[in-house]
Structure 1
Amino acid sequence: METVARESDTIALHFHPAPEDAPTLAVLWPAMGVPARYYRKFAEQLGAAGVATVVADLRGTGSSTPSPSRASRYGMADLTADIEAVLQHLKPRRAGRRTILIGHSLGGQACALHLASEPTSDVAGLALLAVGLPYWRDYPGSRRLPVLVQTQTLGIASAALGVWPGWGFGGRQSRGVIRDWAYTARKGRYPHLNGVDVEAGLGRVTVPVLAVDMAGDRYTPPGTVDRLLAKLPSAPVTRETYAPDGVPIDHFRWARHGEPLAARVAAWSGAL
């Protein structure tokens, strides 16, 4: 494990075995509150498929320190900037290889926003696994109002408490992360991040995208994926649905049953 210093925080990076001549290096960014270790099996499967993989812990999660507190001020802009810092840290390992970003849920949103914020990024491709923009109107009819109520309640509670304690959802989080996440759920778009119009930036992204829905995913149904992909009109997008052995799989369990998906990501990245 290595760490990358970010202001008062550190980002933990977890390396997984792969062939020395692996032509692709993937940097995987997890879902909200999910530690990097949860993806160990999937990262090993990527390695077996010829993709060297580094899994980063999001700020305040897993081995990244410190845990979010009332003193934490970071939000989505900082999670997005962390991606560039990690890519810079990994430059020696990236030399002679193509680099792809793999994002799950919130981590995938941060990856897309990195590309929107860094138009000269040398990333060769972006794989979005169960990633959408959680706009409440894009959920099936009976779930719309509960999603709106839940997301906005978390936003209000985290602002009042100074931190989201992780009560039943998302793990312990900075109030800034919850604030920005709740905004996207309410508005269907991203706020400006450090003064940057990332909505406009997303429209200029030309990096190839592999977007994979998880069949049976109640947190990221197809409509939310459509919402995010509509913001990437200039990117060549490959859209697929994952159901191992034809069985629906949820927002999280795919990472424990991901061998076919790892092979697919490897084949896609090899063609970039």
Structure 2
Amino acid sequence: MNGDPEYAQEFVDIAGGRLGVQIYPEPTGPAGAPVVVIWPAMGVRARYYRPFATALRAAGLAVVVADLRGTGTSTPAPSRADRHGYTELADDVGTVLAALKPQLDGRTRLLLGHSLGGQAALLHLALHGADAVDGLALVAVGIPYWRSYPGRRGVGVLPYTQGIAATTALLGVWPGWGFGGRQARGVIRDWAYTARTGRFPRLDGTDTEAAVRAVLAVSVDDDQYTPHETMDHLCGKLTAAPVTRELYTVAQAGVALDHFTWVRAATPLAQRIAGFASDLPPR
């Protein structure tokens, strides 16, 4: 334990480091509840999702939250020597799922990704197949393609994203100046590619815009980084997957929302995700 009674802190070994995984207590109710494994946004620690995890548990789901490589309790810390990118993030999803196998066996499993975490989960399923999970929930996720932003916003998105990529290439690491926290150059390179081209990079020679299992895609009102249109762009690529497209609105939440604050006002969204999980075919 980490001193916080809300979850058990565990670690999963990877080459050159380890991934921090927070395992919350089982929800009240019948044993064998569906399990949701949360993957955070760029630079956001797993512990930020405690209010969301609490809401999901109250809705009847077992909850696991992983720190992305190099963030929070996960290592290695981004540095000039660390070049990991989207390939490694996608592989990390599989590594955590394999480590959780004893807890997951016989239960409905749902990956839930926020922003970069959603991209990592989606890419894992595209690269390695969806047999290990039953569904995918994407919340405030989108390909940040500059042409998909409404109005004139895209005109600023392109130089902003490519400027971050150029700075990262020069320094060998992104220091986190005002965006995304400290990040490895490979992550920023691949992220900037999606912003420039509107596509995921080819990983290990594989076209990553492939079929995945059932998807619940939820964009959030007033999201400053991935507005509704960027989620629409992403969903347009999931041509072989059954996609349920929804909005999470200020009216539903009862408070102001943005790319991050939805986590702290997500009780209605947690209930919707629990309903999605319960509708998935049983194992």
**Which bracket does the TM-score occupy, shorter chain normalised?**
over 0.9
Aligned-partner SS, 2:160: helix
The equivalent residue for 1:125 is 135
- The C-alpha deviation readout for 1:208-242, integer Å capped at 9, x for no partner, is 11111101112111211111111111111111111
Question: Residue in 2 aligned with 1:6?
Answer: 14
Give the CA deviation at 1:22.
4.3
Q: TM-score, normalised by structure 2?
A: 0.92
Q: Is the 8 A contact 2:76 2:82 kept in 1?
A: no
**Residue 236 of structure 2 corresponds to residue 226 of structure 1:** no
Task: Tell me the matched-pair count.
Answer: 268
Select which of 85, 103, 111 maps to 1:101. Answer: 111
Counterpart of 2:261 in structure 1 is 253
Work out the percentage of aligned pairs sharing the same amino acid.
56
Residue 153 of structure 1 corresponds to: 163
- The Cα offsets for residues 55-91 of structure 1, whole Å up to 9 and x where unpaired, read as 0000100111231111101100100010011100000
Q: Which consecutive residues of structure 2, in runs of 5 or more, have no partner in the other structure? A: 1-8
Say whether 1:67 aligns with 2:77: yes
Could you say which residue in structure 2 is the equivalent of 1:267? 275
Choose which of 8, 15, 18 in structure 1 pairs with 2:23. 15
Alignment of 1:181-260 (within 5 A): 181-199=191-209, 202=210, 204-205=211-212, 207-243=213-249, 244-245=252-253, 247-260=255-268
RMSD of Structure 2 on Structure 1 (CA): 1.2
Quote the Cα distance in structure 1 between the aligned partners of 2:271 and 2:32: 14
Residues in 1 aligned to 2:45 and 2:141: alpha-carbon distance in whole angstroms: 17
Q: Counterpart of 1:222 in structure 2: which amino acid?
A: H
Residue 121 of structure 1, CA deviation? 2.5
TM-score, normalisation: structure 1: 0.95
**Rounded Cα–Cα distance in structure 2 between residues aligned with 1:245 and 1:158:** 37
For residues 73 and 129 of structure 2, the distance between their equivalents in structure 1, rounded to whole angstroms, comes to 30
* Amino acid corresponding to residue 235 of structure 1 in structure 2: A
Which consecutive residues of structure 1, in runs of 5 or more, have no partner in the other structure? none
TM-superposed CA distance for 1:246, in Å, is: 5.4
Distance 2:75 2:100 in 1: 19
- Report if aligned partners of 2:35, 2:62 keep a CA contact under 8 Å in 1: yes
